[in-house]
Amino acid sequence: MDDVTLFSQQAIDDIRQNQAEWEGGALAATLKSRPEEKQTYETESGIPLKRIYTAADIADIPASELGFPGAYPFTRGVYPTMYRGRPWTIRQVAGFGNPEATNQRYKYMIQTGQTGLSTDFDLPTLLGLDSDDPMAFGEVGRVGVAIDTVDDVERLFDGIDLEKISVSLTINPSAWVIYAMFVTVAEERGCDLHKLTGTLQADPLKEYVAQKEWIYPVRPAVRLLRDLIMYSARTTPKINPVSLSGYHLSDVGGNALQEIAFTMAFTISYCEEVTRAGMDIDDFAPRLSFFFISHQDFFEQICKFRAARRVYAKIMSERFNARKPESMRLRVHVQTAAMSLTK
């Protein structure tokens, strides 16, 4: 049986007839006296925009494709109440100089209401270089904090309860090393590793396409991420071991379609790598997280997030045979684009 649609055929026919009358009457008269400024209008991604949209434009969309928040395919949100039930995490990025300087900044931000920490690392740390390496000259502590040892991580989070605050680590090729240091510090403090929360960026494939900070060839990099995902799923089950990052793809010129397409392709590659190693999709997919950009084309961005949720849910369900709803929820972290700053 065909899925029900959102509107009756009679309602759609009436709308189309009324629109035709409007186009031949009021619209035609206005265009004759005051032509439009351009022949065509497009979204930021180059998708042509009609002059007006009505229910007739979505007449063929099955009601099940829209659904309800918190229900498959999660088009309208991954949780039933979304932000009415829980505010989003306030997480301003910080990271500069040495661990003590960044730690001081962390404590100030926590005092002023920040609910999560986000750490940027300097370029030598990202590339796995010690601060005294000749290749690190001039870059130590710039655009991020310098981390060389476990003691550096201890000082970075000195006086901060790692069981109570979520920690985001913006680190990619050397993510597994920083993660190991973070876990070691938590263990030395006697923390329950199952209570640790946070996110590693750790997305290697986007490095080759967009950000360009890589150390290893592609396949070894993906295998390292595979091992990180599998270890973290068992040891620190509330930490997101990877944040699949569409943001960087957009920042180097990708449009909304390309941002989602590349990110979903990377997701499939990582999930195939982990499942081939013997881990069930439902044992790690609930902790996959995503990072997208929010541009100023307001409605296109809304459509982008809704489409991404639906596509991801279907990939998890139909391609990887996920059974848990948590495995099909696209959990997204969003940053505003520097050029447009739409919240």
33 and 177 share one domain: no
Q: Is a pLDDT exceeding 90 seen at residue 3?
A: no
| pLDDT tens digits, one per residue of 217-227 | 999 999 999 99
Q: Is residue 68 part of a domain?
A: no
Q: What secondary structure letter does DSSP report for 81?
A: S
pLDDT number for residue 154: 98
Q: Is residue 73 part of a domain?
A: no
Region of residue 253 (phi > 0: left; psi between -120 and 50: alpha; otherwise: beta): left
175 and 228 share one domain: yes
Instruction: Band the pLDDT of 2: cuts 50, 70, 90.
Output: low
List CB contacts of 267: < 8 A, sequence separation 6 or more.
244, 288, 312, 315
| pLDDT tens digits, one per residue of 75-85 | 999 999 988 88
User: Which of 62, 80, 96 lies at the terminal end of a domain, its last residue?
Assistant: 62
List CB contacts of 24: < 8 A, sequence separation 6 or more.
none
Q: How large is the C-alpha radius of gyration of the chain?
A: 24
224 and 329 share one domain: yes
Q: How many CB atoms lie within 10 A of CB 61?
A: 13
Cα torsion 192, 157, 284, 90: sign: positive
Q: Is residue 210 part of a domain?
A: yes
pLDDT number for residue 298: 86
Residue scoring higher pLDDT (93 or 98): 98
Structural tokens at position 167: 């920690």
Quote the domain boundaries for residue 232.
Answer: 88-336
| pLDDT tens digits, one per residue of 260-291 | 999 999 999 999 999 999 999 999 999 999 99
9 and 139 share one domain: no
107 and 240 share one domain: yes
pLDDT number for residue 310: 97
| pLDDT tens digits, one per residue of 126-168 | 999 999 999 999 999 999 999 999 999 999 999 999 999 999 9
55 and 92 share one domain: no
Q: Is residue 70 part of a domain?
A: no
Q: Is residue 78 part of a domain?
A: no
Q: Is residue 81 part of a domain?
A: no
CATH assignment of the domain containing 104:
3.20.20.240
Distance of CA 159 to the CA centre of its chain: 29
pLDDT number for residue 343: 43
22 and 103 share one domain: no
Domain count, the chain: 2
pLDDT number for residue 198: 94
288 and 155 share one domain: yes
Q: Is residue 119 part of a domain?
A: yes
Mean pLDDT over residues 57-74, rounded?
A: 91
94 and 205 share one domain: yes
User: Which of 15, 44, 62 lies at the terminal end of a domain, its last residue?
Assistant: 62
136 and 281 share one domain: yes
| pLDDT tens digits, one per residue of 43-55 | 988 999 999 999 9
267 and 202 share one domain: yes
Region of residue 70 (phi > 0: left; psi between -120 and 50: alpha; otherwise: beta): left
Q: What is the pTM of this model?
A: 0.90
Q: Is residue 80 part of a domain?
A: no
176 and 34 share one domain: no
